[in-house]
Amino acid sequence: MLLGLGIVLGVAGIGFLCWLLLLCAVYAAPLFVAAMVCTMLYDHAMMSGAHAVLAGIGAGIMVLVLGQAILASTRNPVLRITVSLLLALPAALAGFGMTLGFSGLGDMGAIPAYIFATFGALCVGGAAWTRLCAIQLA
């Protein structure tokens, strides 16, 4: 009884985390930029901790707004595809890491784990790219 409940709750928890990853995949690139700016400014002693965090948040917001503004204002398909792919690539990397971590929870070999992680990266990156391409012109 308890074993069955644990299995059901475990599958539901993994399903919830996958849904959350697909929902938030569009914001992977701004989060990555924010983390990199914050780390760079703090590690090189350019700013204190709070100032580096605020600068990182500002850089992430700027990437998000700039990317969505380009997608919402341009008609050039090459530029739209390029910006969408640049914003979806970090989402695909996050999907790869998350599915590789999920496959590490079980007793899976290395080759099937990487195949599963590649499939997860394609799914998450594809979902992010689809959501970004759906942004219509203003």
* Residue at 2 is within a domain: no
* Residue at 9 is within a domain: no
Count up the domains in the chain and report the number.
1
CB atoms within 10 A of CB 97: 15
* Residue at 53 is within a domain: yes
pLDDT in tens, 18-42: 788 777 788 888 888 898 999 998 8
pLDDT in tens, 39-92: 998 888 777 888 889 999 999 999 989 988 888 888 888 888 888 888 889 889
pLDDT at 118 (0 to 100): 93
pLDDT in tens, 112-137: 889 989 998 998 888 888 888 887 77
Distances (CA, A) of 78 to 68, 70, 105, 115: 15, 12, 40, 30
pTM above 0.85, yes or no: no
pLDDT at 115 (0 to 100): 92
* Residue at 13 is within a domain: no
